[in-house]
Amino acid sequence: MSKRTFDLLAVLLTAPLWLPVFALVAILVRLKLGRPVFFRQARPGRNARIFEMIKFRTMTDRRDAAGALLPDRERLTGFGRWLRATSLDELPELLNVLRGDMSLVGPRPLLVQYLERYSPRQARRHEVRPGITGLAQAMGRNALSWEEKFEWDVRYVEERSFWLDLKILFLTFKLVVGRTGISAAGDATMPEFNPGRANTKPAAPCPH
């Protein structure tokens, strides 16, 4: 079975389970945060092709006196934190999987402006479709440094297999249930990727 076929079957066959949750979360986001319900942003996918990633909105549009958006930590509500802790904000990405922009498992799609900041090795993360979860998420989510994340991403590209995907899905489920690695220390999510302050701590063995 191809990876694409597995993605489609997994999403379509589980639709009776996730669609009611999807609808309920959409209603709650509309009531608690207003419109728009979805957060849409351009992200680079396979071969750095740009696509629109869809998530549930978790932050308000609060701005300072000059009209600039406030920092993430000031716009992230308690409800938004709960959505992120449970990963329910990621549910709309299943639509990206159905459209072929993403896979269930692969390196997470990051900001477009990061493309020019990657080393040649780090850029290999774009050799495959980005995923809702990936090896970096299974090994620690946002508790990892950027350098550790990118190393896991590249190792996934180099060592990917059907069985590794299943292990990543299982490990991600454990992390989500335990609500660990949701954010980096001192940040609402992760600080901006800055190669000048990269952490070069080596990654642990791959969970084969």
Digit-coded pLDDT (tens) for 120-162: 999 999 999 999 999 999 988 777 889 999 999 999 999 999 9
Average pLDDT over residues 196-202: 49
Give pTM, 2 decimals.
0.83
Q: Is the pLDDT of residue 199 over 70?
A: no
DSSP-H helix ranges across the chain: 3-13, 15-33, 72-75, 78-86, 93-99, 135-138, 146-159, 162-178
Residues 152 and 55 sit within 8 Å (Cβ to Cβ): no
Residue 151 to residue 89: CA distance in whole angstroms: 25
- Listed in sequence order, the residues at least 6 apart from 104 whose beta carbon sits closer than 8 Å to its beta carbon are 6, 7, 10, 11, 97, 131, 132, 133, 165, 169
Digit-coded pLDDT (tens) for 9-49: 999 999 999 999 999 999 999 999 989 999 999 999 999 99
Digit-coded pLDDT (tens) for 51-86: 999 999 999 888 877 778 777 777 888 899 999 888
pLDDT over 90 for what percent of the chain?
A: 63
Going by the DSSP 8-state scheme, the letter that residue 197 receives in this structure is G
